Amino acid sequence: MTHPAPYCGDPAMVLGLLAGGDPSGGVLSLFAGRRVSHSFNTRVAIRKAVDILGLKPGDEVLAPAYNCGSELDPLRHAGLAIRLYPVSRSAEIDPDRLLRMVGARTRAIYLTHYFGFLQPETATVRALCDSHGLHLIEDCALSLLSGDAPAEGRAGDISVFCFYKFFPVLAGGAMIVNNDRLAAGEAFARPAPAKGVGKRLLRAGLGKALGPAGAARLLGRVRAGTAETASPDAPMLARPDMPGHYYFDPSLIDARISNFTLRALSGLAVPGTIAARRQNYLRLLEALSGVAGLEPLRPDLPATAVPLSLPARVTGGQRNALVASLKAEGIAATPWWSGYNRHLDFSDSAEADLSAARNLKDSVLSLPIHQYLGTVEIDHIAARVRDLARQHVRA
């Protein structure tokens, strides 16, 4: 008798979470005592950070070349000049290379913690900013639970976080103003967009009615029939564009978090999530050891890291084919950050060799290790990755 494969997709939102819990508890308690404002999503928080920092059109921001593109688009919307700086093949920052790019127009540095692994040179980058009178924007969207205590993000003048990457909630981000010399500004003043909230509630309802696997199949068919295309005035690209909905939507400026999200976050526990993600990462990492053509980006797990996923570089240019096969089997693999923001310059210059970042964008896949997966699911993911890698990957 053939047993159905375990569900290894993204977690479906539990409608019961909308009842919430302690208004100051759960995930929200991570920010107790800090100057926090909650935004509809992280991009909205980043856009507001520009205004609080007093950055003006034409000011230069140094940002990592390994980026999604969506997180930098609010900076572009604000009229800032974005110059991309190099990262290593393990997605780490070299402060010396960064320092060489600081110029007369530079006003801020954007620092990203990838996949739940904190940048080891964060303190050095902070010191660099202090010595040159620069602001530091610290992107903790992928590291919400990482640090000596969860929600670290204390190096940046402003730090931003994302909730839905770690928990099955409708949306939501947070902005923390760490610099006491900065006015925190008013909380996000506009209500969460009804259309955006409604679409997310509909997905949650589908998950309840059809089960997470059935809802994922239905949404996949709908998305396949409404593929996004670049606008007619979009510049010609030498590289694949990122999805259209990744670009910043000005209508969301100053939009606050949904009350549905706040209620759900207040009822979610953190310690069990941390333990499960770390356990799943280590189990999957060990199970994939020695798979030809598959190189885990971080073959370690520092005590401060709570991983978002397990990232691995796929050699031989077959990342997309491997991801497609895994997704066809219901495994939530992702060709991580495969598209390029068409407004950013990813080419090399005398000051910056961006080849390592481009390699990461073109070769890294992300495998799920979230807290709703158990040992059965993790072992199933490992087995399918091993089998499918033999078909797709050339060492």
- Average pLDDT in the chain: 88
Q: Are 113 and 143 in contact (CB under 8 A)?
A: yes
> How far, rounded to the nearest angstrom, does the alpha carbon of residue 70 sit from its chain's CA centroid?
10
2 falls in which pLDDT band (50, 70, 90)?
Answer: low
Would you kindly state where each structural domain of the chain is located, as residue ranges?
16-177, 269-392
pLDDT value for 4: 76
Q: Is the pLDDT of residue 227 over 60?
A: no
**Mean pLDDT lowest for which of 90-104, 196-210, 236-250?**
196-210
pLDDT-derived band at 316 (thresholds 50, 70, 90) equals confident
pLDDT at 228: 46
Q: For 326, how many CA atoms within 13 A lie in the half-sphere containing its CB? A: 29
* Cα–Cα separations (whole angstroms), residue 74 to 50, 191, 252, 324: 9, 19, 11, 30
Residue 306: pLDDT over 60: yes
Q: What is the pLDDT of residues 117-144, one digit of tens each?
A: 999 999 999 999 999 999 999 999 999 9
Of 35-49, 106-120, 175-189, 275-289, the least confident: 175-189
Domain range 16-177, CATH class: alpha beta
Question: Are the beta carbons of 308 and 364 closer than 8 angstroms?
Answer: no
Predicted pLDDT of residue 229: 44
| pTM for this entry | 0.90
pLDDT, one tens digit per residue, over 20-37 is 666 667 899 999 999 999
Percent of the chain with pLDDT over 90: 73
Mean pLDDT value across residues 151-174: 94
pLDDT at 134: 98
| pLDDT above 60 for 208 | no
**pLDDT mean over 160-172:** 93
pLDDT at 202: 58
Query: pLDDT band at residue 234, thresholds of 50, 70 and 90?
Result: very low
Distance, CA of 269 to CA of 266 (rounded, Å) = 8
Q: Of the ranges 212-221, 245-254, 336-345, 376-385, which one carries the lowest mean pLDDT score?
A: 212-221
Mean pLDDT, rounded, for 302-315: 96
User: Structure tokens of 29?
Assistant: 């308690």
The CATH code for residues 269-392 is 3.90.1150.10
Sign of the torsion angle spanned by Cα atoms 61, 248, 216, 172: positive
pLDDT at 41: 96
Q: Give the whole-angstrom CA distance, residue 227 versus residue 89.
A: 32
209 has a pLDDT exceeding 80? no
Q: Helix crossing, 375-392 with 271-287: angle to 10°?
A: 40
Q: Would you say residue 232 has pLDDT above 80?
A: no
Residue among 283, 251, 215 at smallest CA distance from 77: 251
Average pLDDT value for residue range 68-87 = 98
> What is residue 18's predicted lDDT score, i.e. its pLDDT?
59
Q: What is the pLDDT of residue 197?
A: 59
Please report how many Cα atoms fall inside a 13 Å half-sphere around the Cα of residue 83, on the Cβ side. Answer: 23
User: Is 60 exceeded by the pLDDT of residue 299?
Assistant: yes
* Distances from the Cα of 373 to the Cα of 272, 278, 284, 370, angstroms: 12, 12, 11, 6
What is the rounded distance in angstroms from the CA atom of residue 336 to the CA atom of residue 367?
Answer: 9
